[in-house]
Structures are given as structure tokens and as C-alpha cells.
Amino acid sequence: MTAVQPVSYQPQPAGQPLAAPYQPGTVMMAPGQPPQQQWMMKPPPIPGCPPGLEYLTTLDQVIVKQQKDLLEAFTGWQQANKYRVLNNQGQQIFFAMEESEVCMRQCCGANRGFDLHITDNMQQEVIKVHREFMCCAGCSWCAGADACAFTVDIQAPVGSQVAYIRQEASCIAPKYSVRTPEGDIIFRIEGPVCIFPMCGGQEFVIHNLATNVTSEANGQEVGKITKQFAGLVTEMFTNADTFGVTFPVDLDVKLKAALIGAVFLIDFMFFEQQQGGGG
């Protein structure tokens, strides 16, 4: 699982406008917020590693922080989500920006389809997370049917699918699988029965099925996706979700990218819904 297989890279189309002016050593921030975030130094290119994922080769943990949107907090008008992906030193690795239709954000809320563009400090898109809108999806009891299960596709680099995350059928605790493009299960992710902070459990445990393909419960735990409680006021009135993701340091960087992508599906399905169904 640790080997990195070469994949073809499709560069960002020439002439495509950047989301915001780039300043070395700073991060794109929402209007009115000063650029103070330091970026992680980019490692040298690694043979066989998709461009931009070199950052992940030495990491066993990342933090995904959703940016506060005051306009949305005060008006309820759903904005496109933005996230910062940090290492455990607080240095920024990636910036993620949602692309979705305005009408879909207002009418469909957290069930909307979207593309999430994840860029490095040179504003090159290195990962893309795509979810189709599915009007009847989301019920865990019915998720055994493809038409009723939410999924996100993970592309790294853009144009090359490396994995997809699928909601799985469950009675109580939410469950997901991380699959190859061919549909083979690599990891299973199991969440808590109660996702609210007062229940004491906001951890989604990642199990590696390579150690025991016959039993989901006995699969080796290889990491976690943990929702961090931001405080009662912040949780109730903003969409400022923060997640920690842990994984083996020697895991294939494309699978690390897939586990980061799983954060966004979990966020939209559970924690965006708590804030009125929007993002």
C-alpha cells in the first residue's frame, strides 16, 4: 500500500484565472481578514508522486479548518465553503474552495452537488473532490442501493480518479467505505452513534481491510477523522467546522488525499445539516 504508482498529470488550463492574487508565504483569506497564515515549505518533486502531493509524504496528521463566513451567519444566505488544510505545526498545506450553483446552495442546502478545488501555495489545483446532486440520497438505512448513497470522487491530480468515498448502509452509526476506482474496498470508516458534542463522540474511525477482509469489526484501526468542538456559540451560529485527520505516515499519498476528501463528505452530511442545512 505504500508504493506510489505513476499517474498522468493534466495541468491547469492555460489562461484560467486565479481565485485571488497570490502572496508567497500567505493564504487567501476572506475579505476583511488579514493574510497571516504561513505556508508549509514545498518539498522537492518525488518520482511517481502526483504533483502537489509531495507535502503529504512526511505527514501522519492534517487539520481541516472551515473558514467563518459572517455574511452567511448574519443573513442565512448560503455561501460557497472554504477550508484551510494545515499540518500539525499550523502551517498551511492546501486551500480548498467549493464551486456550486447559487440556487442549489439555497434550495438544496447540504445535499447539493459540488466540486471542491484543492490548491497548493502556487494556486495549482492538486486535488479535486466531486459530488453529484442526488435528491433521494442520505438515508443510512437505504444506502445499500447506489441511488440512495452519497458518494464523492477524489481526483489527484485533476482528471485522474484515485478513489471514491461511498456512504454505506447502517442502522444507527454512520458508515463509509473508501474504494478504488474499480470499486474494491480499501478502508471502512465508522462514525459514532451520536455525533453531538454532549454525547462525547465525534470520531470517525478508519479501518484497514487489508488485514482482515472477512470482518469489518476486526479490521486494523489505521486512523481517525475527528470533529473538534469549537465552542457553543461558534457551533450554533457559524459553519466554522474543524477536523483532525490521522493516517499512517507511509500510506500512499493518493490514499491520504482520499481520506482528506472523506472529511468533506462527512462535513456536508452531518455538520452542515446541523446549521440549517446549508454550507
Res. 97: pLDDT tops 60:
yes
Average pLDDT over residues 260-265: 96
- Provide the number of structural domains found in the chain: 1
Any idea what the Cα angle at residue 252 is, between residues 246 and 256, rounded to 5°?
35
pLDDT tier at 144, thresholds 50, 70, 90: confident
pLDDT at 24: 38
Residue 83 has pLDDT above 80, yes or no: yes
**Average pLDDT value over all residues in the chain:** 79
pLDDT at residue number 32:
53
Could you tell me if residue 150 is inside a domain? yes
Residue 6 lies in a domain: no
93 neighbors 55 (Cβ within 8 angstroms): yes
Residue 142 falls within a domain, yes or no? yes
The pLDDT of 52-79, averaged and rounded, is 81
Q: Does residue 36 sit within a domain? A: no
pLDDT score for 11: 42
Closest CA to 39 of 1, 94, 109, 78: 94
185-227 pLDDT per residue, tens: 999 999 988 777 666 568 999 999 854 444 444 578 999 999 8
The three cell numbers locating residue 109: 442546502
Residue 45 placed within a domain = no
Half-sphere exposure of 104 (CA within 13 A, CB side): 16
41: pLDDT strictly greater than 70: yes
Which structural domain range is residue 133 located in? Answer: 55-275
- C-alpha 170/C-alpha 175 separation (Å) is 6
Q: Tell whether 8 is covered by a domain.
A: no
Question: Phi and psi of 210, rounded to 5°?
Answer: -65, -25
Rounded to whole angstroms, the Cα distance separating 113 from 109 reads 9
What are residue 243's DSSP bridge partners?
64, 227
Element (DSSP H or E) covering residue 80: none
Specify the pLDDT at position 80.
Answer: 87
Cell of 209: 481491510
Please give the pLDDT value at position 166: 96
Instruction: Record the pTM.
Output: 0.77
Question: Residue for cell digits 472523506?
Answer: 262
| 233/58: higher pLDDT | 58
Pick the more confident residue, 59 or 218. Answer: 59
pLDDT at residue number 53: 95
Whether the bond into 157 is cis, omega within 30 of 0: yes
Strand ranges, E, within 44-169 = 61-66, 82-86, 92-99, 114-119, 125-131, 151-155, 161-168
| Rg value, the chain, Cα | 18
> Of the given ranges (79-88, 173-182, 214-223, 233-242), which has the lowest mean pLDDT?
233-242
pLDDT more than 70, % of the chain: 71
Domain annotation covers residue 81: yes
pLDDT of residue 72: 60
Strand partners, 245: 62, 225
Q: Which of the 8 DSSP states describes residue 40?
A: P
Q: Give me the pLDDT at residue 17, please.
A: 41
**CATH no. for residue 258?**
2.40.160.200
Evaluate whether residue 27 is within a structural domain: no
Residue 76 has pLDDT above 80, yes or no: no
Mean pLDDT of 76-102: 89
Instruction: Please state, in angstroms and rounded to a whole number, the distance separating the CA atoms of residues 144 and 254.
Output: 26
Q: Where are the alpha helices (DSSP H) in the chain?
A: 70-75, 102-108, 232-237, 253-266
- 57 compared with 110, residue with greater pLDDT: 57
Q: What is residue 271's DSSP assignment?
A: I
Confidence bin at 35 (pLDDT 50/70/90): low
